[in-house]
Amino acid sequence: MCVFLSQDVYHSHRPKEKLRLDSNNNENSVPKDFDSIDSNSNLGAQSQHQRAPVGNSKRKLDKAQVQSMLGKSPNEVLKFPPLQPRGIGHSHNRTHIHKPHPQAPTAPAPAQEANQDPALQQSKKPSGPEPRKEQPQCEIGGKEAISALSRAKSRECRQQIVEVYCKHKEGALMPERVPRYCPREGKANVNVQWDEDPADAAQPVPVRIAFVLVVHGRASRQFQRLFKAIYHTSHYYYIHVDQRSSYLHREILSLSSQYPNVRVTPWRMATIWGGASLLTMYLRSMEDLLKMADWSWDFFINLSAADYPIRTNEQLVAFLSKYRSMNFIKSHGRDNARFIRKQGLDRLFYEYGIAVDGGSDWFLLNRPFVNYVVNSRDELVSSMKRFYAYTLLPAESFFHTVLENSAHCETMVDNNLRLTNWNRKLGCKCQYKHIVDWCGCSPNDFKPSDLPRFQQASRPTFFARKFEASVSQEIISQLDSYLFGAYPSGTPGLQAYWENIYEQDTDGPASLSDSALSHYHAFARMGLSRAASSLQGHPNDNSCRYMAMNHPVSVHLYFLSDQFQGYLVRHVATNRASTQLESLETWVTPRDHFTMASPPPPTNRLQHVQVGTDWDPKERLFRNWGGLLGPEDEPVAVQRWSRAQSNLTATVVWVDPTNVIAATYDILVDASAEVTHYRPPLTAPLRPGVWTLRVLHHWSPLGQTSFIVAPLEFHRQQPIQQEDALRLHAGPPRNSYMEQSFHGLNPVLRLPVSLGAVEEAEANAGLTGAPLRRWLDRLLEGHWSASDVCSMGPSACPVMQRCRHTVWSSASPDPKSELSPPRDDGRIR
């Protein structure tokens, strides 16, 4: 994680996995406080909540205080004043938590805010042996440094923060001045001409390109489509796979073994957005490439797995051959002072006599400049490497600044030859705040409607980003057909997309949450039940009856025509007839339980309601594709609306399996709103069972959905014991999900308290073993169905289909993503 230390210093350590500060922010219904609500609200006016005062930003930590933080135990309380907690909602909250009046349930009283920012809750500090105690070097001052120290999870991290801060305070961290070697005044920028016809621009010696592919995640099939599209035997491919992406690393190692001009970095880094590690990775890759005597390349091009070419290799080579002495790098396009502020560079460095530049961290650099950056020992390069080790977003500024101030400045072309899909309204949600102490933006995924943008691009443009096959594979297929021609009619798998989300060999069960592991086991059992029912014959025929064995082997997401079709769970089971182990794959599909009000109100704008976790406000979808929820999850409710001429205020009500109203709140839906979402701060654990979410207007129903909070079959990857089951499956303490009770609204919503449901929930809470599995399976069968099951190899079941012969299995043919030897023209695609 990159933490902001002061007006001058950043420090990097590993990112937190789960923390999301913007989880309650959305496009049109950002929960905000305001003094009164519109006339359509179900609530009256409410008073503005006062914000807790923030501590004095000028306070300092002396050596004794720092020593106490860096002392023998990391569990010691920090000696400086803690940050004051505040609510999740900000100063213009438009989501209101209801607090019903106990004497008058038909008229809800003013809202009461109950949210608390999870980012400011004190995290547990790890225990364990402590390194030798170090004497603090200086007095720590400034709220940013104090904040960074308070959030550091280990004593080692705090010690490093102190060292960096003190070095900078002593003037030993950053260079005092940096020379400029560019022979001309101002920013150099060479204009280049776009020639669409490569034949007219043919050069006697075509350039050879070193593609550096920087990849992470699990989308191996999308990566293979990119690789097929850019591959040529004349070029070179050096691939860095993030240290945390073991599955993808395995797949790419297999790919690289098939081609002599493809290599994978023998080292791997865990790079993070905005951190110095990304620049370090690029510089190390450049150094490796320069040392490869058998790779004679002319240009360095970096790509991610979310990129795709929009021009052919012939066009790219012809263009770069014409401008082989140039460096293509996109500048920020705004005045330097604004860029420095926006990038946070003023926190460290404002004016040292050189021109600070920056922009996109995707570039095309020629070999002479790469050699200069890597091997030069002049004061400019060495000072810039020293400086950018402690700045935010160094890869977006380092190469730009060195190029513009070096003797290579006259080779700079202010164009990185990319088309990026920026949508600032959706893409600038501070989505990297859990990784870096800074707000950043991210491009949106291209959709099929964007194809004309590629076809009509007038300036020199050869690549575009971002593409994401799980969001829209169709645009990748359209672009692929535009560049290379369509696949023959009848080619299998053209509309299908598979993405691995779990692999036992590379991830292991410990990588799964208890909720995910419990769901996958239940899905596998659903497949075995389907297999058993597939053979219509004698009831004693066991040829298609199986006994589940061990944890799932792998899990894939399955999409068809850009629509999520469910999970593919590969698992091993023992055939009861043959007693042999068989490898099977089960396809389970979700059932949508959303229903509109009947009869629908005449002005009902509501189109859909969904509940899940891992909401992506940029793409407006859940990354937890199947909405798999467990008792310890923090679900989000999302509503989709049609546009209208006026605003409306909708009421959202959460009801647990025993008809306890867990939460209710109002959302102001703007006339132009298409999506609203909110995560109520429910107290865990959530009671397992079938939950209901209702959406109302003036207490009249607009629509509702139901969703499952599944009990846990496993706790910490082991079969759950009764003590843990009673703790996790009995609902929240005192049967209350929030500080206030909504019991008074039960008559208004016609939700009778069912003693039978309460007694059943209490009985289920202590289940373990086979009874627990039957309860879990029964719940999921109401919201999921086993669409099919197949065998990876020979099977004793006579009606069992082989997976490779199906159209849905992860083992079925997928020619668009499959690799082959190069053709005579040097290409694969």
- The CATH code of the domain that includes 393 is 3.90.550
**pLDDT confidence of residue 685:** 98
Both ends of the chain: CA-CA distance in Å? 39
CA gap 207, 365 in Å, rounded: 12
**Does the pLDDT at position 697 exceed 50?**
yes
Tell me what the mean pLDDT of segment 760-771 comes to: 97
**Does the pLDDT at position 196 exceed 70?**
no
Residues 632, 662, single domain; the answer is yes
**Does the pLDDT at position 111 exceed 90?**
no
DSSP state of 466: -
Average pLDDT over all residues of the chain: 82
Q: Is 176 exposed, middle or buried (0-12, 13-18, 19+ CB in 10 A)?
A: exposed
Give the tens place of pLDDT for each residue, 392-443: 677 778 999 999 999 999 999 999 999 999 776 675 665 544 444 445 578 8
In sequence order, what are the residues at sequence separation of 6 or more whose Cβ sits closer than 8 angstroms to the Cβ of residue 55? 81, 83, 84, 143
Residues 520, 602, single domain; the answer is no
Residues 556, 656, single domain; the answer is no
Q: What's the Rg (C-alpha) of the chain? A: 29
Q: Of 781, 797, 819, which residue constitutes the final position of a domain? A: 781
Residues 643, 734, single domain; the answer is yes
Domain count, the chain: 3
Tell me what the mean pLDDT of segment 140-148 comes to: 74
Question: 748 near 648, Cβ under 8 Å?
Answer: no
CA gap 726, 515 in Å, rounded: 16
Tell me what the mean pLDDT of segment 620-634 comes to: 98
In sequence order, what are the residues at sequence separation of 6 or more whose Cβ sits closer than 8 angstroms to the Cβ of residue 140? 60, 61, 62, 65, 66, 146, 149, 162, 165
In a domain, 789, yes or no: yes
In a domain, 602, yes or no: yes
Angle (CA) 384-390-393 rounded to 5° is 85
Type and span of the H or E element at 243: none
Residues 585, 631, single domain; the answer is no
Percent of the chain with pLDDT over 90: 62
Give the tens place of pLDDT for each residue, 333-380: 555 555 445 544 444 333 334 566 656 779 999 999 999 999 999 999
In a domain, 387, yes or no: yes
Question: 115 near 24, Cβ under 8 Å?
Answer: yes
Percent of the chain with pLDDT over 70: 76
In a domain, 473, yes or no: no
Lowest mean pLDDT: which of 448-452, 455-459, 601-605?
455-459
Q: What share of the chain is helix, strand, coil (3-state, %, to 5)?
A: 25, 20, 50
Question: 773 near 522, Cβ under 8 Å?
Answer: yes
Lowest mean pLDDT: which of 259-263, 305-309, 379-383?
379-383
**pLDDT confidence of residue 193:** 77
Residues 226, 330, single domain; the answer is yes
Residues 610, 580, single domain; the answer is no
Q: Quick one: pLDDT band at residue 490, thresholds 50, 70, 90?
A: very high
Give the tens place of pLDDT for each residue, 240-263: 999 999 999 999 999 999 999 999
**pLDDT confidence of residue 479:** 97
Highest mean pLDDT among 184-198, 483-497, 539-553: 483-497
In a domain, 59, yes or no: no
Q: Of 368, 401, 417, which residue constitutes the final position of a domain? A: 417
Q: Quick one: pLDDT band at residue 110, thresholds 50, 70, 90?
A: very low
Residues 539, 621, single domain; the answer is no
Tell me what the mean pLDDT of segment 17-30 comes to: 33
CA gap 240, 267 in Å, rounded: 8
Task: Examine residue 685 and say whether the peptide bond preceding it is cis (omega within 30 degrees of 0).
Answer: yes
**pLDDT confidence of residue 510:** 96
In a domain, 290, yes or no: yes
Tell me what the mean pLDDT of segment 767-788 comes to: 98
Q: Quick one: pLDDT band at residue 104, thresholds 50, 70, 90?
A: very low
Residues 344, 302, single domain; the answer is yes
Residues 582, 608, single domain; the answer is no
Residues 223, 291, single domain; the answer is yes
DSSP state of 47: P
Domain extent, residue 285, equals 209-417
Tell me what the mean pLDDT of segment 196-208 comes to: 73
Q: DSSP states of 94-144 as a string?
A: -EEE-B--TT-TTS-B--------GGGSPPPPPPS---------S-EESHH
Residues 526, 650, single domain; the answer is no
